[in-house]
Amino acid sequence: MPGFELFGDKERNEVKDVLDSGVLMRYGFDGMRNGHWKAQQLEQKIAERMQSNHAQLVSSGTAALTVALASAGIGAGDEVIIPSFTFVASFEAILALGAIPVMVDIDDTLTLDPKAVEKAIGPNTRVIMPVHMCGSMADLGALQEICDRHKLLLLEDACQAIGGTYNGKPLGSIGDLGCFSFDYVKTITCGEGGALITNNETFYKNADHYSDHGHDHAGNDRGAESHPFLGFNYRISELHAAVGLAQIDRLDDFLAIQKKNYTILRNALEPIDGVSFRRVPEGGVENYSFLNFFLPSEEITRKTHAALGAGGVDACFYWYNNNWHYYKKWDHLRTMKSLAPVAKEVLDGIPDYPEAHFKQSDHWMGRTISCLVKLSWGEEEVVKRAEKMASIIKNQL
């Protein structure tokens, strides 16, 4: 991770096809594009690879979450349960629709704790949205059971875990809807882009229309298309889709490289007394984009993270202090600071985040270091990195 590390001739050739045709938009201009429909081709490949009936490409992972929620009718006053460790896009997408993000604790999977989810369900809860952070997944079996019992939707945010599986099924395909990001630092990239997948025909049609101003895409005359309902512009361009079309064909190769490099790092750290690893739910297989491990205390973890950086070991993250990924630094959400007035439904329903505490999440995040696994590392480089990491961690312990 990320896919841009291995850009090559496949990506260049796909982009050249688009530039040669001169048609950069995914819809219309049929006669000019010489039969090239990069977005449509990529949607077909995503659906096939993710074992889903439908895929809809959009302009970003954030757009994918927004469109997925909208396609299921989520809106003003509806509550969506999310983890306290995620990316800001999770609550941005919810708030954009006038819905309410309800944060709950994570457990040792670094994702939603099913027990915390159960306690957070209320009369306005409509969706449970696990976020498969850093390459691994939530306890999807437990969460699906909760959704079935309470008649809730399960929306998987698999933006950081494409290629991972649960009980043999691709992450993103287990829930009612699944979302992916193809931004510049994801395992496969379009530069900017995202996708949602679903087996629900209604959700798919809604997503197809909603993401393109409500166009119904009936017939082959874009000017004659009708608008069954209001929509917005979340389209991906043909240029971005062209890059993704090349990258998805390389996904299995990328995953194999990640697994190899991950395994070298993990094997070096496993014998160290005091190091343990995030729990992967039974039946789950990571996509190996991050190696996530725990140390005995917050103090030791902070010192170790600093020592790794000082020792030249880059791309190791201490999310506990991170502005983008952990609730402690989300003052704009806590205070609902917005450029425009916030919807009354949100103001009336938002939890009291300035007073909120997530002690269980703090317990795990305060002790977690996540190391990015790069595709561009050679084997000798990974071995040296693993040895240096092990030495530094031992010294701190």
Q: Which tens digits make up the pLDDT trace of 196-240?
A: 999 999 999 999 999 999 999 999 889 899 999 999 999 999 999
pLDDT of residue 111: 98
Q: What is the mean pLDDT of residues 107-135?
A: 98
pLDDT of residue 168: 98
Question: Is the pLDDT confidence value at 317 over 90?
Answer: yes
If asked whether residues 188 and 298 sit together in one domain, one would say no
**What is the SS3 assignment for 132?**
coil
Q: What is the mean pLDDT of residues 331-360?
A: 94
Cα–Cα distance measured from residue 264 to residue 49, given in angstroms and rounded to the nearest whole number: 27
Residues of the domain holding 11 = 3-250
The tokens describing 264, both together, are 């070298």
CA distances from 242 to 17, 42, 260, 294 (A): 8, 8, 28, 39
Question: Is the pLDDT confidence value at 368 over 90?
Answer: yes
Question: Is the pLDDT confidence value at 192 over 90?
Answer: yes
If asked whether residues 320 and 205 sit together in one domain, one would say no
Cα–Cα distance measured from residue 22 to residue 369, given in angstroms and rounded to the nearest whole number: 46
Task: Kindly indicate the confidence band of residue 34, based on its pLDDT and cuts at 50, 70 and 90.
Answer: confident
If asked whether residues 237 and 368 sit together in one domain, one would say no
The tokens describing 350, both together, are 């938002």
If asked whether residues 224 and 142 sit together in one domain, one would say yes
Annotated active-site residue 337? The verdict is no
If asked whether residues 257 and 239 sit together in one domain, one would say no
If asked whether residues 144 and 274 sit together in one domain, one would say no
**Total domains, the chain:** 2
Average pLDDT, the chain: 97
pLDDT of residue 210: 98
Task: Kindly indicate the confidence band of residue 383, based on its pLDDT and cuts at 50, 70 and 90.
Answer: very high
Question: Is the pLDDT confidence value at 300 over 90?
Answer: yes
For the chain, the distance separating the N- and C-terminal CA atoms, rounded to the nearest angstrom, is 29
- The rounded percent of the chain whose pLDDT value lies above 90 is 97
Of 210, 232, 250, which residue sits at a domain end?
250
Of 225, 250, 275, which residue sits at a domain end?
250
CATH of the domain at 140: 3.40.640.10
- Chain-centroid distance of CA 368 in Å reads 19
Compute the half-sphere exposure of residue 308: CA atoms within 13 Å on the CB side of its CA: 23
* CB-CB contact of 208 with 56 (8 Å): yes
If asked whether residues 46 and 131 sit together in one domain, one would say yes
Q: Could you report the per-residue pLDDT of 134-181, keeping only the tens digit for each?
A: 999 999 999 999 999 999 999 999 999 999 999 999 999 999 999 999
CATH of the domain at 261: 3.90.1150.10
If asked whether residues 93 and 241 sit together in one domain, one would say yes
pLDDT of residue 220: 87
pLDDT of residue 235: 98
Cα–Cα distance measured from residue 9 to residue 240, given in angstroms and rounded to the nearest whole number: 15
pLDDT of residue 382: 98
pLDDT of residue 97: 98
If asked whether residues 24 and 102 sit together in one domain, one would say yes
If asked whether residues 293 and 229 sit together in one domain, one would say no
Of 250, 283, 299, which residue sits at a domain end?
250
Task: Kindly indicate the confidence band of residue 21, based on its pLDDT and cuts at 50, 70 and 90.
Answer: very high
If asked whether residues 216 and 111 sit together in one domain, one would say yes
16, 119, 186, 359: the catalytic one is 186
Instruction: Read off φ and ψ for residue 283, nearest 5 degrees.
Output: 90, -5
pLDDT of residue 335: 94
If asked whether residues 327 and 279 sit together in one domain, one would say yes
